[in-house]
């Protein structure tokens, strides 16, 4: 029934659009970088003097339906010189527009202010488009540019702790964010146990975060969407860039395969912690052979088949490898993990008003843990693999009216947390070794429509379905957990199916030229879950599907905001309030310890809710730029089987979260930047009493998350030296000097209890101690590139 409702809504929208567009002509094309010929995502094309217009889609395409005659267009994009273009039309016209990139950050900020007032005019709430030039201007740990770390400086986005690359958005967990790289879902976003993200800044073209009023084209997560697009590659000339940092280096090359028709980009990165540490671990050391490193590679090819067709092929491959060797105890540990993705996309322009993209995606995430001591071996494995096919259509019936619709199909294969081992000739095999399969499908339609000068709506609905399917063996067990009977499901035979409608609505009402009110409501389903037994996003966390035991998560989010631009668009300000309910939340039962049982048997289920307000002030142009963000928020959980059924603060509950970011263009050579962050301490569960029972020291714990660590605060500084360009030199370079945690604040990472003395001698002492990771950390990075 839900699918028929969706089809009827789509037919009504298309019929209305066709009827209203009969007497108009259409201008369509792409907006590109004039030097590299890369398409520009979200470029603005506006009718001069009218304020009506359109933004390019994710592939740089636009379509405007106009009355016959002469029109003057203003074409602009952040970091590019705007153009004023006159077009005369008495029939449909196809025309591409090229914009020239500006040469410096200060110019970029001036140009960005000349755009139409998107902060006030757009209907979308909680959307942040992050140019890589801004990301690269900020100080970061070990000099490694990281878009996820920059997003953590924005209101409504928090981090799990010191150095962690995971993000928590408006009270949601790390699994409740849909993170995509060229349409491929990225399940593990961190290197070095989360201290660096998997995204190489040199390969990234555009980063967009949506944390309120998720459009209907996105689904499968409750909290946010992080949509990252890779560069397409320069179609005009060959170029290289890279950087040498304190613990890692990177290198990228791009250029034309066929000039103005096909191009490529390849980008790689590797740490050399293992290489730097090796001279200090001699062969006589007990730890000889231990080491850690990570590496990743991005590659992409794009081909303009014709004016109406374009093909893209892109991929990512990354691995972390950790080896620990203790020769004195014959004890070895190896932990490899990583992501692999492959995306193929085909763009086709069916007509001046209809654009389509079809995408096929393969992605794979694997984690493995191995331990060996003498004749004993232990192995833990988990992972997830997806095969995805989807198609999306953009239809432009009128200027200021855009309809988007599409469908997607995903086959999931889950490898559960499988534990196996060996002792001499005895082999231990788990009870949960079978794979789990699921099929996820979705249909959606959304309409972005200017209903007048003041009111704009983005309304949509998404139908989603998720089925656990065979091959699968479902067991019946007795009270002791012993299997007594089973049911066998054939390949693709449904075991359990869930489905539902997800309505989405955002609205904008302008109060004047420089201010507006926005509101949003959205319902979301989430069918796959990351279950964690720790406070951070470690690769040991397990992805599990919705099954006959595990129900989907579901949320409703309500948002309301006031937006205002000041000083001729020099400042952008906003206040957003939100309230979110979350059903079907998952945690491990009290007293859980890893075992060979199916992890589903260890879960308990409850609900959560969060609410708060976000304040944001962003200075967009001038020699001094930056922003101030502050979030006041509450996040709660309530489980019948945890904490005696009483509510408790979630582990990522942060009452106060403040960030201050500044970039100062001192002169043509020097650029200074700094960030300051302050956050209330993480919620934590601690032992409140210690007593001796039968000679064993026993702990009695508090209610869940009833205590707080010390507040977290840190100051980072950086200075970038860019030598004046010489016409004779073919290479450009810059030096980045960074200081992480400038005043060496010892922020808490975790607490442990140290025991001294003996209860039998009456001198037992138990003392809480804090572990901190990073004191002050200076770093130097040299970045280079060809002109």
Distance CA 683, CA 654 (A): 8
Eight-class DSSP state of 9? H
Top-confidence range, 5-9, 108-112, 208-212, 763-767? 208-212
Distance of CA 247 to the CA centre of its chain: 24
In this predicted model, which residue has the larger pLDDT, 280 or 766? Answer: 766
In this predicted model, which residue has the larger pLDDT, 746 or 600? Answer: 746
Q: Average the pLDDT over each of 222-236, 246-260, 329-343 and give the range with the smallest value.
A: 329-343
Q: Average the pLDDT over each of 146-150, 346-350, 549-553, 757-761 and give the range with the smallest value.
A: 757-761
Residues of the chain with pLDDT > 90, as a percent, come to 40
519: CB partners within 8 A, 6+ apart: 125, 506, 507, 559, 560, 561
Q: Taking the C-alpha atoms of 129, 131, 134 and 138 in order, what is their torsion angle to the nearest 10 degrees?
A: 80
Report the pLDDT averaged over residues 87-105. 81
> Nearest Cα to 225, choosing from 240, 213, 241, 233?
213
Distance CA 148, CA 199 (A): 8
Report the pLDDT averaged over residues 502-514. 92
**Residue 556 in 3-state DSSP?**
strand
Beta bridge partners of 156: none
φ, ψ of residue 123 to 5 degrees: the values are -80, -25
Specify the length of the chain in residues.
Answer: 787
Distance CA 248, CA 95 (A): 44
φ, ψ of residue 135 to 5 degrees: the values are -60, -45
**Residue 770: how many other CB atoms lie within 10 Å:** 13
Tokens read off for 53: 């217009």
Residue 633 has pLDDT above 90, yes or no: yes
List, for residues 460-481, the tens digit of each pLDDT value: 999 999 999 988 888 787 776 6
Q: What's residue 132's pLDDT?
A: 79
Q: What's residue 327's pLDDT?
A: 57
List, for residues 689-709, the tens digit of each pLDDT value: 877 776 677 778 888 888 888
Contact 316, 297 (CB under 8 A): yes
Report the pLDDT averaged over residues 171-189. 90
Report the pLDDT averaged over residues 377-381. 76
Contact 524, 178 (CB under 8 A): no
Report the pLDDT averaged over residues 754-760. 73
Residue 193 has pLDDT above 80, yes or no: no
Counts for the chain of helices (H) and strands (E), in that order: 6, 52
Q: What's residue 430's pLDDT?
A: 61
Across all residues in the chain, what is the average pLDDT?
Answer: 84
Q: What's residue 303's pLDDT?
A: 95
Helix residue ranges, H only, 201-333: 273-277
Report the pLDDT averaged over residues 482-497. 86
Q: Average the pLDDT over each of 428-442, 549-563, 668-682 and give the range with the smallest value.
A: 428-442
Q: What's residue 528's pLDDT?
A: 93
Given pLDDT bands bounded at 50, 70 and 90, which one contains residue 108? Answer: very low
Whether omega before 471 lies within 30 degrees of 0, making that bond cis, reads: yes
Burial class (CB in 10 A: 0-12, 13-18, 19+), 408: buried
Contact 705, 651 (CB under 8 A): yes
Pairing status of strand 455-469 against strand 472-477: unpaired
Tokens read off for 437: 């399969």
Q: Average the pLDDT over each of 212-226, 276-290, 306-320, 540-554 and give the range with the smallest value.
A: 276-290
Residue 328 has pLDDT above 90, yes or no: no
Distances (CA, A) of 62 to 16, 46, 95, 724: 20, 11, 10, 38
Residue 109 has pLDDT above 50, yes or no: no
Tokens read off for 638: 């309530």
209: CB partners within 8 A, 6+ apart: 127, 128, 130, 151, 154, 157, 224, 225, 226, 227
Residue 583 has pLDDT above 80, yes or no: yes
Eight-class DSSP state of 285? S
**Residue 570: how many other CB atoms lie within 10 Å:** 16
Which H or E run includes 292? strand 291-304
Q: What's residue 786's pLDDT?
A: 75
Burial class (CB in 10 A: 0-12, 13-18, 19+), 258: exposed
In this predicted model, which residue has the larger pLDDT, 242 or 116? Answer: 242
Q: What's residue 113's pLDDT?
A: 35
Top-confidence range, 279-288, 521-530, 537-546, 771-780? 521-530
Beta bridge partners of 611: 579, 634
Q: What's residue 426's pLDDT?
A: 65
List, for residues 519-572, the tens digit of each pLDDT value: 999 999 999 998 776 534 444 577 889 999 899 999 999 999 999 998 888 899
Given pLDDT bands bounded at 50, 70 and 90, which one contains residue 408? Answer: very high
**pTM for this model (two decimals):** 0.88
Given pLDDT bands bounded at 50, 70 and 90, which one contains residue 107? Answer: very low
Contact 631, 614 (CB under 8 A): yes
Contact 213, 555 (CB under 8 A): no
Distance CA 588, CA 453 (A): 52
Residue 733 has pLDDT above 60, yes or no: yes
Distances (CA, A) of 22 to 12, 17, 395, 516, 555: 16, 9, 15, 33, 41
Residue 431 has pLDDT above 60, yes or no: no
Residue 242 has pLDDT above 80, yes or no: yes
Burial class (CB in 10 A: 0-12, 13-18, 19+), 635: buried
110: CB partners within 8 A, 6+ apart: 621
Q: What's residue 342's pLDDT?
A: 96
Q: What's residue 569's pLDDT?
A: 82
Residue 112 has pLDDT above 70, yes or no: no
Q: What's residue 326's pLDDT?
A: 64
Place of tokens 């959307």: 127
Q: What's residue 340's pLDDT?
A: 94
Distances (CA, A) of 579 to 517, 519, 596, 638: 17, 12, 39, 16
Q: Average the pLDDT over each of 150-159, 358-367, 493-502 and give the range with the smallest value.
A: 150-159
Contact 619, 625 (CB under 8 A): yes
Top-confidence range, 21-35, 99-113, 394-408? 394-408
Residue 626 has pLDDT above 50, yes or no: yes
């Amino acid at each position: 029934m839900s699918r028929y409702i969706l089809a009827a809504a789509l037919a009504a929208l298309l019929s209305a659009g066709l009827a209203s567009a009969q007497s108009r002509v259409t201008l369509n094309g792409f907006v590109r970088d004039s030097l590299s010929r890369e398409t520009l995502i979200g470029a603005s094309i506006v009718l001069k003097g009218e304020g009506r217009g359109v933004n390019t889609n994710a592939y740089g395409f636009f379509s405007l339906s106009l009355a016959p005659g002469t029109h003057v267009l203003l074409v602009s994009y952040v970091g590019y010189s705007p153009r004023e273009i006159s077009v005369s039309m008495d029939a449909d016209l196809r025309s591409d527009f090229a914009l020239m990139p500006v040469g410096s950050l200060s110019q970029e900020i001036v140009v960005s202010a000349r755009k139409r007032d998107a902060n006030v005019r757009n209907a979308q709430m909680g959307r942040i488009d992050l140019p890589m030039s801004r990301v690269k201007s900020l100080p970061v740990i070990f000099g490694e540019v990281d878009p996820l770390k920059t997003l953590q400086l924005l209101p409504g986005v928090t981090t799990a702790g010191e150095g962690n690359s995971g993000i928590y958005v408006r009270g949601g967990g790390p699994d409740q964010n849909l993170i995509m790289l060229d349409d491929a879902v990225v399940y593990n976003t961190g290197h070095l146990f989360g201290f660096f993200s998997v995204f190489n800044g040199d390969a990234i073209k555009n980063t967009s975060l949506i944390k309120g009023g998720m459009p209907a084209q996105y689904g499968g997560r409750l909290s946010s969407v992080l949509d990252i697009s890779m560069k397409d590659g320069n179609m005009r000339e060959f170029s290289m860039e890279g950087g040498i940092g304190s613990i890692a280096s990177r290198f990228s090359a791009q250029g034309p395969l066929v000039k103005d028709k096909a191009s490529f980009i390849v980008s790689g990165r590797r740490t050399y912690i293992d290489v730097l540490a090796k001279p200090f671990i001699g062969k006589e050391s007990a730890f000889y052979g231990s080491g850690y490193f990570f590496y990743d590679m991005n590659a992409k090819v794009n081909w303009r088949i014709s004016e109406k067709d374009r093909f893209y092929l892109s991929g990512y491959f990354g691995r972390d490898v950790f080896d620990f060797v203790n020769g004195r105890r014959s004890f070895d540990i190896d932990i490899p993990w990583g992501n692999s993705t492959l995306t193929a996309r085909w763009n086709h322009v069916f007509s001046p008003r209809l654009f389509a993209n079809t995408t096929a995606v393969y992605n794979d995430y694997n984690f493995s843990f191995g331990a060996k001591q003498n004749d004993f071996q232990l192995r833990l494995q988990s992972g997830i693999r997806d095969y995805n096919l989807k198609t999306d259509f953009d239809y432009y019936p009128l200027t200021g009216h855009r309809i988007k619709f599409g469908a997607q199909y995903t086959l999931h294969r889950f490898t559960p947390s499988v534990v196996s081992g060996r002792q001499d000739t005895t082999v231990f095999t788990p009870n949960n070794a079978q794979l789990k399969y699921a099929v996820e499908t979705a249909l959606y339609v959304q309409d972005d429509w200017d209903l007048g000068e003041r009111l704009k709506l983005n309304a949509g609905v998404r139908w989603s379905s998720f089925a656990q399917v065979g091959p699968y063996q479902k067991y019946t067990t007795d009270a002791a957990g012993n299997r007594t009977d089973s049911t066998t499901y054939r390949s693709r035979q449904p075991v359990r199916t869930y489905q539902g409608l997800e309505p989405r609505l955002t609205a904008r009402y302008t109060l004047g030229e420089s201010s507006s009110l926005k509101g949003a409501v959205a319902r979301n389903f989430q069918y796959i879950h990351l279950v964690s037994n720790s406070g951070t996003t470690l690769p040991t966390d397990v992805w599990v599907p919705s099954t006959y035991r595990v129900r989907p998560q579901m949320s409703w989010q309500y948002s309301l905001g006031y937006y205002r631009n000041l000083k001729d668009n020099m400042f952008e300000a906003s206040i957003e309030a939100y309230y979110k309910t979350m059903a079907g939340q998952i945690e491990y039962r009290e007293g859980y310890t890893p075992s060979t049982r199916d992890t589903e048997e260890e879960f308990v289920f409850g609900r959560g809710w969060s609410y708060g307000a976000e304040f944001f002030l962003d200075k967009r142009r001038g020699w001094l730029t930056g922003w101030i963000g502050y979030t006041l928020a509450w996040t709660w959980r309530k489980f019948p089987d945890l904490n005696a059924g009483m509510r408790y603060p979630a582990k990522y509950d942060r009452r106060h979260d403040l960030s201050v970011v500044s970039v100062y263009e001192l002169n043509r050579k020097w650029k200074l930047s700094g960030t300051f962050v302050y956050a209330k301490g993480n919620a934590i569960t601690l032992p409140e009493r210690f007593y001796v029972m039968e000679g064993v020291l026993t702990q009695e714990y508090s209610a869940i998350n009833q205590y707080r660590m010390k507040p977290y605060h840190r100051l980072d500084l950086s200075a970038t030296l860019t030598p004046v360009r010489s016409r004779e030199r073919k290479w450009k370079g810059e030096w980045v000097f960074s200081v992480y945690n400038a005043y060496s604040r010892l922020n808490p990472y975790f607490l442990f209890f140290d025991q001294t003395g003996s209860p039998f001698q009456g001198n037992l002492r138990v003392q809480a101690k804090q572990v901190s990771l990073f004191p002050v950390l200076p770093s130097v990075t040299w970045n280079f590139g060809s002109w």
